[in-house]
Amino acid sequence: MGGGKMAGILPVDTRPWPERRDEALANQTMRTTISLTTRRLQAGQLKVFSDYPEAEEARQRAILDKRAAIKDMDHLLEQFSQAVHEHGGHVHLARTAPDAVKLVRAIAEDSKVRRVVKTKSMVTEEIELNRGLIEDGIEVLETDLGEYIIQRAGEKPSHILAPAAHKNREEVLRLFERDASQSGIEPPPDDDAKTLTQYARRRLRQEFLRADMGITGGNFLVAETGSVVLITNEGNADLVTTLPRVLVSVVGVEKIIADWQALQNIIQQPALNGVGQRLSSYTTIVSGPTGGDAAEGPQKWHVVLLDNGRTGLRGTEYEDVLSCIRCGACLNVCPVFRQVGGNAYGSVYSGPIGVVETPLLTEGTILAEMPMMACTMCHACVDACPMDIDLPAHILSLREENVEKHAGSFSTRQTYRWWARWWATPTGYQRSLRMARAGQRFYMRDGMLRTAPGLAKGWFQSRNMPPVAKETFHEWWKRTHEEGGDRHE
C-alpha cells in the first residue's frame, strides 16, 4: 500500500446525538426487538464456548495470526493481488469510498450491467454503493434476508450481523405484503418466520437468474491463493457468486490473512461469537472467474480493495481495531446499544466498535463526540470481543484527544483546573456536595436532578442523576463514629 495516509469518508447522520438517541428511545418496538435479539445472541456465544472449550485455543491462534497479518499487510496484499491475477481476476485499490464507487460503476458500465444482486456487506454500506449504482439506472437487490427487509423499508442496518434486528415479524409481514403487490408474487399468508422466509426465497430466486452482476463483501482474503472467503447462514452468497456473468468483491484491506492455516484458525470465530454456532452454515470461496479449472462461475471477476482510512491506523495505538471480524459480540453486550439500537449511532458502524472506528477512519472529522456520549465504561465489550480489541482503552484515548481539541478556551481550562483542585481535597469535595444539596431543589423533576447551572448544564443534556442524599456517607460516618454517636445505627 504505497502513497500517503488519507482520511476515510463515511456516510453520517448529522443530527446531534441527543436527537438521534431520543428518537431511538421513543421507538418501543425497536427497543424490544433489539433487546431480545442482543440477549439471545449473547446467550448463544456464552453457551457455545462452554459446550466447546477447544474453541478457545483456536481463538488465541486467530488473534496472533490476524495481528501478524496486519503488520505484514503490504506484502500479503501484493501476494493476494498476484494470485488473483494469475487466476484471471482483476484487483483494484480504492483509497477512499468515492474511489471505490467510481471503480464499481465503471466496471458495471463496461459490462453493460442492468441488474445487480448483492450479499450482505458492511463495506458496501460504508461506501454507499447502492446509491451510486441506482443513480446510473441499475437495479440493485439485496439478497440477505435481513438486508432485503431493510431495503424494502428504506432503512439502514441496525446491527453489524443482523441488519433487521430492530424489526418484528408484524412489521416484516407488512413490508412483504407491499412488496408482493408490486412483484406479483403471492404474499406470505401470516407472520410466521418460516412463511416470511419462504416468500423472500420465492421472490429472490427469480432475481438471481436475471442479474448481470453479483456484488459481495468478504470476510477474509487469503493471500496464499488469492481467495475471497464469504460466510453466510443463508447460502445466498453461493448464488450471487456463481449465477451472474460479472462478479465484484468489495473488501476492506484489513481482511487479509496469510494462508489456509490462518483461515482454519479464524473461520469459526464470527459464528461462535456472533450467533453462538460452531460454524456458519455456508462457506463460499472465490478464487477466480470461470474457465481453466473452474467449471462454473462468473466470466469476469474484479476485487476492489478498500482503504478508506484503514491503513492510517497501522503503527498507532489503535492498530488492533483492524483485527475486527465484524462478529457483533461487542454490540450484543453493550448497555447503550441494547437501549438505542444501531441506527442511533449515526454511522454504519455502531455499538462499541462503531464508536471507536468511525472517528478513527475519518481522523475525527465525523462523530468524534460519540466516545464521550455513547459509552458507560462498563468494559463489557472487551470481555466479549474474540479478537481482544481493547475498546474501552481506545474510547478513553479518543475522549482525551477530544478534550484536548475542544476544551481549548482559556476559561474552560481554568474552570476544569479549579474543579480538579477543589475535588482533590476531602474538604473541597464535601463542601461542594453541601452546596449542591442546598441548591438542588431548583433543578429537580420527578425525584431526579435533570439540569444544573453553568458548565454542568451540558452534562445534563444527555443524562440525569439522583439528588445528593439528605445525609452523605461521610456525614453519617462522622455523626456515628467520630462524634460519639450510636455505632449500630
* Site for ligand SF4, rule CB under 6 A: 160, 324-330, 353, 384-387, 389
Residue type at position 475: E
Q: Which of 309, 313, 314, 321 is nearest to 382 (CA)?
A: 321
If the CB atoms of residues 73 and 266 are measured against ligand SF4, the closer one turns out to be 266
- CB nearer to ligand SF4: give 97 or 385: 385
What minimum distance in Å lies between the beta carbon of 172 and ligand SF4?
A: 25
In the bound state with ligand SF4, the residue whose beta carbon lies nearer, of 129 and 329, is 329
* Phi, psi (degrees; rounded to nearest 5) at 282: -130, 140
Nearer to ligand SF4, 80 or 349 (CB): 349
Residues 6+ positions from 478 with CB-CB distance below 8 Å: none
Considering the complex, what minimum distance in angstroms separates the CB of residue 108 from ligand SF4? 30
Question: Toward ligand SF4, which CB reaches closer, 211 or 382?
Answer: 382
Shortest Cβ 442–ligand SF4 spacing (Å): 43
Question: Closer to ligand SF4 at the Cβ: 8 or 328?
Answer: 328
241/350 with CB nearer ligand SF4: 350
Q: For the CB of residue 274, give the shortest distance to ligand SF4 in the complex, in Å.
A: 7
Least distance in Å: CB of 348 to ligand SF4?
Answer: 13
Q: How far is CA 52 from CA 45, 58, 272, 386, 477, in A?
A: 11, 11, 10, 15, 50
In whole angstroms, the minimum distance from the beta carbon of 478 to ligand SF4 comes to 46
CA distance 414 to 417: 5
The smaller minimum CB distance to ligand SF4, of residues 243 and 385, is found at 385
User: Toward ligand SF4, which CB reaches closer, 68 or 153?
Assistant: 68
Q: How far is the CB of 357 from ligand SF4 (least distance, A)?
A: 8
- Pick between residue 92 and residue 326 the one whose CB is nearest to ligand SF4: 326
Q: Which is nearer to ligand SF4, 378 or 436 (CB)?
A: 378
Residues with Cβ within 8 Å of 287's Cβ and at least 6 positions away in sequence, in order, are: 83, 87, 225, 226, 227, 228, 294
Residue 295 Cβ, how far from ligand SF4 at the closest point, in Å? 36
Distance in angstroms (rounded) separating the CA atoms of residues 9 and 5:
13
Angle subtended by helix axes 426-439 and 410-423, to nearest 10: 110
- As measured in angstroms, the least distance from the Cβ of 344 to ligand SF4 is 17
Bridge pairing between strands 300-306 and 246-252: parallel
CB atoms within 10 A of CB 213: 27
Q: How far is the CB of 349 from ligand SF4 (least distance, A)?
A: 9
To the nearest whole angstrom, how small is the minimum distance from the Cβ of residue 272 to ligand SF4?
Answer: 11
